[in-house]
Amino acid sequence: MRLPLFPLPVVLFPGAPMPLHVFEPRYRQLVARCVEADNRFGLVYHDPDRHGPFSTENGGVGCVAHILKFQPLPDGRSLILCRGQERFHIEDGIESGVPYYEALVGPYEDEREDKRGLAARRQRTIDLFHRVLEEVVHYKQPYPEIDRTVETGFQIAQAIRIDPEWQQELLQTRRERERLAQLDDLLRVVLERGTLEPPPSGETFGF
């Protein structure tokens, strides 16, 4: 699949909504093209302060973003609301003459794993998440709706604000049980500390 790419220092998860303010001229063109076509582009995590210039040659993993709402502003900027769809990996960059990045991408799917007992395994992570909301965040019910009959890790991850490097690692994990284990480890740290304040390491998280 040929896909225009929008590198940003954020991670989009499948199923997650994300509002964006589009102001750079080349990405205004990207969004305009998407709105005229199929409303889809690829969002790829890239932080220029950490990683330097963006390149399509690194085989990065991203998430297809589907534009749900498009609000043009008088000066050419726009506000969009998109939702994450499937994951992809970059196979090859495209030199097309447009000012934004384009690439050929392929599907990035989970590896096969035993599904027996997976619904109950998902529920354990959901219960842990609810404990954090109740005991640390003091969240008022009803809790965010999480469907344990389908992939659960990304549903919970989209509610957690943490270093995007951690989020990208989760996005690239290709077994659901491993994603659930990663989430459990993080949620237990929050419960043990009883706070969302950053630890001495400087890593930050919130809900």
Residue 8 one-letter amino acid: L
pLDDT band at 139 (very low <50, low <70, confident <90, very high): confident
Residue 169 has pLDDT above 60, yes or no: yes
Residue 173 has pLDDT above 90, yes or no: yes
Give me the pLDDT at residue 140, please: 82
3-state secondary structure the chain: CEEEEEEECCCCCCCCEEEEEECCHHHHHHHHHHHHCCCEEEEEECCHHHHCCCCHHHCCEEEEEEEEEEEECCCCCEEEEEEEEEEEEEEEECCCCCCCEEEEEEECCCCCCCCCCHHHHHHHHHHHHHHHHHHHHCCCCCCCCCCCCCCCHHHHHCCCEECHHHHHHHHHCCCHHHHHHHHHHHHHHHHHHCCCCCCCCCCCEEC
Task: Give the separation between CA 91 and CA 78, rounded to whole angstroms.
Answer: 30
Mean model confidence pLDDT for the chain: 93
Task: Give the separation between CA 60 and CA 34, rounded to whole angstroms.
Answer: 21
Give me the pLDDT at residue 95, please: 87
Sequence spans of domains, the chain: 2-107, 118-194
**Mean pLDDT across 113-128:** 95
The answer to whether residues 45 and 169 touch, using CB atoms and an 8 Å cutoff, is no
The CATH number that domain 2-107 falls under is 2.30.130.40
pTM of the model: 0.92
- The pair phi, psi for residue 150, each rounded to 5°, is -130, 175
